[in-house]
């Protein structure tokens, strides 16, 4: 089934939602997106796996990127889509097929934007990072997604969310000495010692750094705990896995040093990390977007693929219809008026005169 990119944006959203595209099975939707975009003479289209990139080449002084992922989490009895009042229900409505629909409709109906445009529709965002289509493009074909500024169509409830937090996971290990539980005094209980790790976490007061005018809210929490040998053995090891969400005023290295410092005296092993991204609002194209859209701006509390753009030197923000707290839920839905509002605001920006000298 083909996609009609000039149809009403809500109808287009429903059509995209009804094309099942759970992570790793996006081919049919990617085929439909590619076919629809190749029919537009003002765009150059390239396919990389199940990611599709379309670009204008109008010689504009700025290039901006609109990006969205095609995949969803597994279905939960929430297809086909359905309209109830002013809500569109269905898997992916919020995260993020309504945003994809907005970008596709703009690709079809804004043939001569005042900024050159790159549209990126990529696969495998909802699963392990190694398979992420945007990560693959950034590594293998960074020139395809390069630009002066990028908008990631993440659900934000119609607000602009600048940058994103970084995330780090660490295993903090308490050690002891094994003994028979009948003679516990002959050993040292690592699970009991781990209470000191939990004391640190309970006493932690989240910082709220202001970065480029936006306030972030850091977090340090235990997410797993493991220890024990047998029902009659005093354990000699207990591991608390900690997740640190840090603001973009820290690098990954600084975040690691902070975690090691706060758990001084314990063995700390960093198991996973991803860099934060600054808000990206200082570029003229970003300022013009904020002004033209009229949307409120806040910090992004969480990690998103804007960090992948930051890694290749492209400032980026999150902006899209849909309430993020509804993502991945059985009753996932998007407010229909927000889809139209998002399209109108982006269109106003893309058609507004620029102040950049040619």
Distance CA 293, CA 346 (A): 7
CATH number of 166-274: 3.30.70.360
Domain residues of the chain, as ranges?
9-163+277-351, 166-274
For the stretch 129-173, pLDDT in tens is: 889 999 999 999 999 999 999 999 999 999 999 999 999 999 999
Domain spanning 9-163+277-351: CATH 1.10.10.10: no
Helix ranges (H only) for 86-132 are 98-109
Would the CA dihedral through 73, 159, 64, 13 be positive or negative? positive
Distance CA 139, CA 122 (A): 14
Both tokens of 125, joined, read 């965002």
Per-residue DSSP letter, 126: S
Distance CA 176, CA 170 (A): 20
Strand 267-274 and strand 63-69: the pairing is unpaired
pLDDT at 57: 97
- For the chain, how many helices (H) and strands (E)? 11, 19
pLDDT at 231: 96
End-to-end CA distance of the chain: 42
For every residue of 257-315, DSSP letters joined together read HHHHHHTTTSEEEEEEEE--B-----SHHHHHHHHHH---EEE--S--THHHHHHTT--
pLDDT at 295: 87
Residues with catalytic roles: 71, 125
Q: Is 246 helix (H, G, I), strand (E, B) or coil?
A: strand
Q: Report CA-CA distances (Å) from 50 to 61, 123, 233, 280.
A: 30, 6, 52, 28
- Which residue's structure tokens are 């707290």? 325
- Half-sphere exposure in the Cβ direction for 342 (13 Å, CA): 38
Both tokens of 3, joined, read 């996609």
Strand 219-227 and strand 237-246: the pairing is antiparallel
pLDDT at 282: 82
* 276 φ/ψ angles, rounded to the nearest 5 degrees: -80, 170
Q: What angle do CA 234, 221, 175 make, to 5 degrees?
A: 25
pLDDT at 1: 63
Torsion of CA 115, 320, 17, 23, to 10 degrees: 90
Query: Pick from 97, 86, 84, 82: which is nearest to 20 by CA?
Result: 97
Query: Pick from 347, 341, 342, 301: which is nearest to 319 by CA?
Result: 342
Give every residue of the chain whose pLDDT is below 50, as ranges: 357-358
């Amino acid at each position: 089934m083909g996609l009609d990119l000039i149809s009403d944006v809500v109808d287009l959203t429903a059509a995209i939602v009804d094309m099942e595209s759970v992570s790793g099975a996006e081919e049919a939707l990617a085929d439909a997106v590619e076919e629809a975009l190749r029919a537009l003479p003002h765009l150059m289209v390239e396919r990389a796996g199940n990611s599709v990139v379309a670009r204008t080449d109008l010689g504009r002084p700025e290039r901006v990127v609109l990006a969205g992922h095609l995949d969803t989490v597994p279905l939960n009895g929430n297809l086909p889509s359905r309209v109830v009042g002013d809500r569109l229900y269905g898997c992916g409505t919020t995260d993020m097929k309504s945003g994809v629909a907005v970008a596709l409709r703009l690709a079809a109906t804004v043939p001569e934007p005042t900024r050159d445009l790159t549209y990126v529709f990529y696969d495998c965002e909802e699963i392990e990072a190694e398979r992420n289509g945007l990560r693959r493009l950034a590594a293998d074909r960074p020139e395809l997604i390069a630009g002066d500024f990028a908008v990631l169509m993440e659900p934000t409830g119609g607000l602009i969310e600048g940058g994103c937090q970084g995330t780090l996971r660490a295993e903090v290990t308490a050690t002891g000495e094994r003994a028979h539980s009948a003679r516990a005094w002959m050993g040292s209980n690592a699970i009991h010692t781990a209470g000191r790790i939990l004391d640190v976490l309970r006493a932690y007061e989240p910082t709220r750094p202001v970065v480029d005018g936006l306030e972030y809210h850091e977090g340090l929490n235990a997410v797993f705990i493991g220890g024990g040998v047998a029902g009659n053995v005093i354990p000699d090891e207990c591991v608390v896995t900690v997740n640190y969400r840090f603001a973009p005023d820290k690098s990954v290295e600084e975040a690691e040093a902070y975690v090691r410092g706060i758990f001084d005296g314990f063995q700390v092993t960093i198991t996973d990390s991803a860099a934060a991204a600054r808000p990206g609002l200082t570029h003229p194209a970003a300022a013009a977007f904020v002004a033209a859209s009229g949307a409120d701006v806040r910090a992004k509390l969480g990690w998103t693929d804007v960090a992948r753009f930051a890694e290749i030197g492209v400032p980026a923000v999150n902006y899209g219809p849909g309430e993020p707290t509804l993502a991945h839920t059985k009753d996932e839905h998007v407010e229909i008026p927000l889809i139209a509002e998002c399209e109108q605001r982006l269109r106003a920006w893309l058609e507004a005169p620029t102040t950049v000298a040619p």
